[in-house]
């Protein structure tokens, strides 16, 4: 199979790029290149002196991005997770940027290519790494992790009520033979989830949890958000598209905290001009996909985008 078989529909394409309020001479970062939908639209709105830097872990995404970089000198691709945001910008000599876009989660080609091991719809090696060139596979982790750790991951990242039972079944199974394929894991989970949500495979939450853990998805999100604020120029925008409540909660709480200054008692004699200004402010309400987009791409139904703008206040956080 080749990558051309798999179609990726970019979620909130126009809305996300519009949220960045692109300046023709600005410097922008697409933290999740994927197959380049957002990046190409950003490039179409930049002038000759504009610049776009993109990150991705996936070697197949990097191959697509490398071809784009060869044809457009304004574009740079970085083969790394976005938790390395600040370090990679330093390496490129970029001190500030005018906008940052993050399209979180997993891309359609990663799901639809059974070889990647992300989906229980296929029988494939239990891999789940977004970057197949480094790190531990899901099978390797499940073969050695403590039962309590497996249960905690499935409960925390999958919000699965039957996490302990699933973890116990995994440990019992590997005592006889290792779990090596997605189908083996899906069947095992199905036997240990007593109730099923309508329209959802019983393995959905477990697969999500293991994928998030293997790729450090939530940890990396927590690491990058402060870095983006530190690097945004005044007036620069941050737009983040999340696909499940765990991601969105992190983004929502970060924007709330970074846009709130310390509250002083009303009796404290301080002038308004002496109260420190917040680092960012929310821009509009959270944006969801239109009915038309969800009808064309059902995977977009859970997407939610939050936008914030740098307003020049002193950032107290760290990169």
Is residue 82 annotated as involved in ligand binding?
Answer: yes
Is residue 199 annotated as involved in ligand binding?
Answer: no
Nearest Cα residue to 313 out of 255, 229, 222: 229
Q: What letter would DSSP give residue 108?
A: H
28 neighbors 98 (Cβ within 8 angstroms): yes
Is residue 6 annotated as involved in ligand binding?
Answer: no
**Which DSSP helix (H) or strand (E) runs through 239?**
strand 232-242
Kind of pairing between the strands at 304-310 and 280-282: antiparallel
57 neighbors 131 (Cβ within 8 angstroms): yes
**What tokens does 35 get?**
């197959």
Is residue 8 annotated as involved in ligand binding?
Answer: no
223 neighbors 172 (Cβ within 8 angstroms): no
**What tokens does 316 get?**
């107290």
Is residue 37 annotated as involved in ligand binding?
Answer: yes
> How is 29-72 classified by DSSP, letter by letter?
EES--TTSHHHHHHHHH--TT-EEEEEE--HHHHHHHHHHHHH-
Is residue 45 annotated as involved in ligand binding?
Answer: no
107 neighbors 61 (Cβ within 8 angstroms): yes
Is residue 85 annotated as involved in ligand binding?
Answer: no
Classify 288 as helix, strand or coil.
strand
**What tokens does 118 get?**
């992300």
118 neighbors 207 (Cβ within 8 angstroms): yes
Residues comprising the binding site?
Answer: 36-38, 56, 82, 103, 110
Residues comprising the binding site for S-adenosyl-L-methionine?
Answer: 36-38, 56, 82, 103, 110
């Amino acid at each position: 199979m080749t990558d051309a078989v798999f179609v990726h529909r970019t979620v909130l394409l126009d809305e996300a790029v519009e949220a960045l309020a692109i300046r023709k001479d600005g410097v922008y970062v697409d933290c999740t290149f994927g197959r380049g939908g957002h990046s190409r639209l950003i490039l179409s709105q930049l002038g000759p002196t504009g610049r776009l830097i993109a990150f991705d872990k996936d070697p197949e995404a990097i191959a697509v991005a490398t071809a784009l970089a060869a044809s457009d000198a304004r574009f740079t691709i970085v083969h790394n997770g976005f938790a390395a945001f600040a370090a990679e910008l330093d390496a490129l000599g970029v001190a500030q940027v005018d906008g940052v876009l993050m399209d979180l989660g997993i891309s359609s080609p990663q799901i639809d290519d059974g070889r990647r091991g992300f989906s229980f719809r296929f029988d494939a090696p239990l891999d789940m790494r977004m970057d197949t060139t480094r790190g531990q596979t899901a099978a390797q982790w499940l073969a050695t992790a403590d039962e309590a750790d497996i249960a905690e991951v499935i409960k925390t990242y999958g919000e699965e009520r039957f996490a302990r039972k699933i973890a116990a079944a995994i440990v019992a199974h590997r005592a006889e033979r290792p779990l090596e394929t997605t189908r083996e894991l899906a069947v095992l989970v199905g036997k240990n989830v007593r109730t099923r949500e309508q329209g959802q495979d019983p393995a959905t939450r477990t697969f999500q949890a293991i994928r998030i853990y293997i790729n450090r998805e939530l940890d990396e999100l927590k690491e990058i958000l402060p870095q983006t604020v530190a690097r945004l120029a005044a007036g620069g925008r941050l737009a983040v598209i999340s696909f499940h409540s765990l991601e969105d909660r992190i983004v929502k709480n970060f924007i709330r905290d970074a846009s709130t200054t310390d509250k002083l008692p009303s009796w404290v004699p301080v002038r308004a001009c002496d109260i420190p200004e917040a680092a960012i402010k929310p821009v509009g309400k959270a944006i969801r996909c239109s009915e038309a987009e969800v009808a064309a791409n059902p995977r977009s139904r859970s997407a939610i985008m939050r936008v914030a703008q740098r307003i020049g206040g002193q950032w107290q956080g760290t990169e």
